[in-house]
Amino acid sequence: MPDSFPILSVVETRVLATLVEKQRTVPDTYPMSLNALAAGCNQKTSRNPVLELGESDILQAIDSLKEARLVSEVSGSRVPRFAHQFERVLGVPTQASALITVLMLRGPQTAGELRLNCERLHKFADISSVEAFLEELASRAEGGLVLELPRLPGARENRWTHLLSGQPAIEQAPASASGSRSEIEELRTRVAALESEVGELRAALERVLAA
Protein backbone atom coordinates (compact mmCIF):
# COMPACT_ATOMS: atom_id res chain seq x y z
CA MET A 1 0.00 0.00 0.00
CA PRO A 2 1.31 3.52 -0.73
CA ASP A 3 3.27 4.96 2.23
CA SER A 4 1.28 8.20 2.06
CA PHE A 5 -2.06 6.38 2.33
CA PRO A 6 -3.54 6.19 5.85
CA ILE A 7 -4.42 2.85 7.42
CA LEU A 8 -8.19 2.84 7.68
CA SER A 9 -10.13 1.70 10.72
CA VAL A 10 -12.95 -0.83 10.44
CA VAL A 11 -15.53 1.99 10.53
CA GLU A 12 -13.67 4.10 7.95
CA THR A 13 -13.36 1.07 5.69
CA ARG A 14 -17.08 0.37 5.95
CA VAL A 15 -18.10 3.97 5.27
CA LEU A 16 -15.84 4.32 2.24
CA ALA A 17 -16.83 0.97 0.75
CA THR A 18 -20.53 1.67 1.27
CA LEU A 19 -20.24 4.95 -0.63
CA VAL A 20 -18.55 3.20 -3.56
CA GLU A 21 -21.08 0.37 -3.55
CA LYS A 22 -24.19 2.55 -3.38
CA GLN A 23 -22.96 4.89 -6.12
CA ARG A 24 -23.19 1.93 -8.50
CA THR A 25 -26.13 -0.01 -7.11
CA VAL A 26 -28.51 2.85 -6.20
CA PRO A 27 -27.22 5.91 -8.10
CA ASP A 28 -30.46 7.83 -7.50
CA THR A 29 -29.59 8.16 -3.80
CA TYR A 30 -25.98 9.19 -4.44
CA PRO A 31 -24.33 11.33 -3.04
CA MET A 32 -25.60 9.82 0.20
CA SER A 33 -27.23 11.43 3.21
CA LEU A 34 -26.08 10.44 6.68
CA ASN A 35 -29.22 8.36 7.25
CA ALA A 36 -28.82 6.46 4.00
CA LEU A 37 -25.11 5.92 4.67
CA ALA A 38 -25.86 4.56 8.15
CA ALA A 39 -28.40 2.13 6.72
CA GLY A 40 -25.90 0.94 4.14
CA CYS A 41 -23.10 0.53 6.69
CA ASN A 42 -25.33 -1.46 9.05
CA GLN A 43 -26.82 -3.84 6.48
CA LYS A 44 -27.26 -7.41 7.68
CA THR A 45 -26.64 -8.87 4.23
CA SER A 46 -23.49 -8.67 2.07
CA ARG A 47 -21.48 -7.52 5.08
CA ASN A 48 -18.72 -9.25 7.02
CA PRO A 49 -18.53 -8.33 9.80
CA VAL A 50 -22.04 -7.03 10.46
CA LEU A 51 -21.74 -3.71 12.31
CA GLU A 52 -24.05 -1.54 14.40
CA LEU A 53 -22.69 1.97 13.84
CA GLY A 54 -24.23 5.10 15.27
CA GLU A 55 -24.32 8.43 13.43
CA SER A 56 -21.53 9.76 15.63
CA ASP A 57 -19.30 6.82 14.61
CA ILE A 58 -19.97 7.48 10.95
CA LEU A 59 -19.44 11.25 11.23
CA GLN A 60 -16.11 10.68 12.96
CA ALA A 61 -15.06 8.29 10.17
CA ILE A 62 -16.18 10.83 7.54
CA ASP A 63 -14.00 13.51 9.14
CA SER A 64 -10.96 11.22 8.93
CA LEU A 65 -11.77 10.26 5.34
CA LYS A 66 -12.14 13.94 4.43
CA GLU A 67 -8.62 14.59 5.74
CA ALA A 68 -7.35 11.80 3.51
CA ARG A 69 -9.31 13.34 0.56
CA LEU A 70 -11.21 10.06 0.15
CA VAL A 71 -14.62 11.57 0.96
CA SER A 72 -16.09 15.00 0.29
CA GLU A 73 -19.27 16.76 1.40
CA VAL A 74 -21.50 17.87 -1.45
CA SER A 75 -23.10 21.29 -1.15
CA GLY A 76 -26.38 22.47 -2.64
CA SER A 77 -28.74 20.39 -0.52
CA ARG A 78 -30.59 21.09 2.72
CA VAL A 79 -29.36 17.72 4.01
CA PRO A 80 -25.57 17.12 4.01
CA ARG A 81 -24.58 14.52 1.43
CA PHE A 82 -21.33 12.68 0.98
CA ALA A 83 -19.41 11.34 -2.00
CA HIS A 84 -16.22 9.29 -2.33
CA GLN A 85 -13.06 10.06 -4.27
CA PHE A 86 -11.83 6.47 -4.16
CA GLU A 87 -10.73 5.85 -7.75
CA ARG A 88 -9.20 9.30 -8.16
CA VAL A 89 -7.11 9.23 -4.97
CA LEU A 90 -5.90 5.65 -5.41
CA GLY A 91 -5.56 5.87 -9.18
CA VAL A 92 -7.48 2.67 -9.92
CA PRO A 93 -10.04 1.88 -12.64
CA THR A 94 -13.65 1.07 -11.81
CA GLN A 95 -13.08 -2.68 -12.30
CA ALA A 96 -10.33 -2.69 -9.69
CA SER A 97 -12.27 -0.51 -7.26
CA ALA A 98 -15.22 -2.93 -7.49
CA LEU A 99 -12.95 -5.78 -6.35
CA ILE A 100 -11.43 -3.78 -3.48
CA THR A 101 -14.88 -2.56 -2.40
CA VAL A 102 -16.30 -6.08 -2.16
CA LEU A 103 -13.23 -7.21 -0.21
CA MET A 104 -13.76 -4.27 2.17
CA LEU A 105 -17.44 -5.13 2.62
CA ARG A 106 -17.28 -8.93 2.77
CA GLY A 107 -13.78 -9.88 3.89
CA PRO A 108 -11.31 -12.29 2.20
CA GLN A 109 -12.66 -14.15 -0.84
CA THR A 110 -11.50 -16.31 -3.71
CA ALA A 111 -11.43 -14.98 -7.27
CA GLY A 112 -14.55 -17.00 -8.04
CA GLU A 113 -16.42 -15.56 -5.07
CA LEU A 114 -15.33 -12.06 -6.03
CA ARG A 115 -16.60 -12.44 -9.57
CA LEU A 116 -20.02 -13.46 -8.22
CA ASN A 117 -20.20 -10.85 -5.46
CA CYS A 118 -19.00 -8.02 -7.74
CA GLU A 119 -21.75 -8.57 -10.28
CA ARG A 120 -23.81 -5.51 -9.28
CA LEU A 121 -20.73 -3.27 -9.23
CA HIS A 122 -18.99 -4.62 -12.33
CA LYS A 123 -19.62 -7.73 -14.42
CA PHE A 124 -16.37 -9.57 -15.09
CA ALA A 125 -16.30 -11.79 -18.18
CA ASP A 126 -14.58 -14.67 -16.39
CA ILE A 127 -12.46 -15.58 -13.38
CA SER A 128 -9.22 -15.03 -15.29
CA SER A 129 -10.10 -11.35 -15.75
CA VAL A 130 -10.73 -11.07 -12.00
CA GLU A 131 -7.35 -12.69 -11.32
CA ALA A 132 -5.63 -10.35 -13.76
CA PHE A 133 -6.94 -7.25 -11.95
CA LEU A 134 -6.08 -8.74 -8.55
CA GLU A 135 -2.52 -9.47 -9.61
CA GLU A 136 -2.19 -5.95 -11.01
CA LEU A 137 -3.46 -4.47 -7.74
CA ALA A 138 -1.08 -6.65 -5.73
CA SER A 139 2.02 -5.74 -7.74
CA ARG A 140 1.58 -1.96 -8.09
CA ALA A 141 4.90 -0.12 -8.03
CA GLU A 142 3.54 2.45 -5.58
CA GLY A 143 2.37 -0.26 -3.19
CA GLY A 144 -0.02 -3.21 -3.35
CA LEU A 145 -3.67 -2.72 -2.46
CA VAL A 146 -4.57 -6.42 -2.19
CA LEU A 147 -2.79 -9.54 -1.01
CA GLU A 148 -3.15 -13.22 -1.88
CA LEU A 149 -3.46 -15.19 1.34
CA PRO A 150 -1.88 -18.62 1.99
CA ARG A 151 -4.24 -21.44 1.12
CA LEU A 152 -6.13 -22.85 4.08
CA PRO A 153 -6.05 -26.62 4.77
CA GLY A 154 -8.64 -28.37 2.64
CA ALA A 155 -9.28 -25.31 0.44
CA ARG A 156 -8.99 -25.61 -3.34
CA GLU A 157 -8.39 -21.90 -4.04
CA ASN A 158 -6.46 -19.09 -2.41
CA ARG A 159 -8.37 -16.14 -1.00
CA TRP A 160 -7.55 -12.46 -1.45
CA THR A 161 -7.81 -9.59 1.02
CA HIS A 162 -7.47 -5.80 0.79
CA LEU A 163 -4.64 -3.87 2.46
CA LEU A 164 -6.37 -0.56 3.15
CA SER A 165 -6.64 -1.49 6.82
CA GLY A 166 -3.02 -2.63 7.01
CA GLN A 167 -1.41 -6.05 6.86
CA PRO A 168 -3.91 -8.78 7.81
CA ALA A 169 -3.32 -11.40 10.48
CA ILE A 170 -2.55 -14.57 8.55
CA GLU A 171 -4.81 -17.41 9.59
CA GLN A 172 -2.94 -20.49 10.75
CA ALA A 173 -4.12 -24.07 10.50
CA PRO A 174 -5.49 -25.30 13.85
CA ALA A 175 -2.91 -27.18 15.91
CA SER A 176 -5.10 -30.27 15.84
CA ALA A 177 -4.99 -30.35 12.05
CA SER A 178 -1.30 -31.21 11.85
CA GLY A 179 -1.79 -33.76 14.62
CA SER A 180 -4.67 -35.34 12.74
CA ARG A 181 -2.61 -35.61 9.57
CA SER A 182 0.27 -37.31 11.41
CA GLU A 183 -2.15 -39.75 13.05
CA ILE A 184 -3.62 -40.63 9.67
CA GLU A 185 -0.17 -41.24 8.21
CA GLU A 186 0.72 -43.44 11.17
CA LEU A 187 -2.48 -45.46 10.72
CA ARG A 188 -1.75 -45.89 7.02
CA THR A 189 1.73 -47.17 7.81
CA ARG A 190 0.37 -49.67 10.35
CA VAL A 191 -2.33 -50.87 7.93
CA ALA A 192 0.28 -51.38 5.21
CA ALA A 193 2.46 -53.39 7.62
CA LEU A 194 -0.50 -55.54 8.67
CA GLU A 195 -1.47 -56.16 5.04
CA SER A 196 2.11 -57.26 4.34
CA GLU A 197 2.07 -59.66 7.30
CA VAL A 198 -1.30 -61.10 6.22
CA GLY A 199 0.08 -61.61 2.71
CA GLU A 200 3.13 -63.47 4.04
CA LEU A 201 0.97 -65.69 6.27
CA ARG A 202 -1.37 -66.46 3.38
CA ALA A 203 1.56 -67.46 1.17
CA ALA A 204 3.00 -69.69 3.91
CA LEU A 205 -0.36 -71.35 4.44
CA GLU A 206 -0.74 -72.01 0.71
CA ARG A 207 2.71 -73.64 0.67
CA VAL A 208 1.76 -75.91 3.60
CA LEU A 209 -1.50 -76.94 1.96
CA ALA A 210 0.25 -77.67 -1.35
CA ALA A 211 2.89 -79.94 0.29
- Cα distance between residue 136 and residue 122, in whole Å: 17
- Residues in the chain where the model's pLDDT stays below 70: 1-4, 171-183, 185-187, 189-201, 203-211
Other Cβ atoms less than 10 A from the Cβ of 124: the count is 21
Q: What is the pLDDT of residue 65?
A: 98
pLDDT at 5: 78
Q: What is the model's pLDDT at position 76?
A: 79
3 state SS of 80:
coil
Alpha-carbon distance 173 to 151, whole Å?
10
pTM of this structure: 0.79
pLDDT of residue 196: 66
In whole angstroms, what is the distance from residue 76 CA to residue 88 CA? 22
CA distance 173 to 152: 7
Q: What percent of the chain has pLDDT over 90?
A: 71
N- to C-terminal Cα distance for the chain?
80
**DSSP codes, 111-170:** HHHHHHHTTTT---SSHHHHHHHHHHHHT-TT--SEEEPPPPTT-SS-EEEE-TT-SPPP
Beta-strand pair 146-148/159-162:
antiparallel
Q: What is the mean pLDDT of the chain?
A: 88
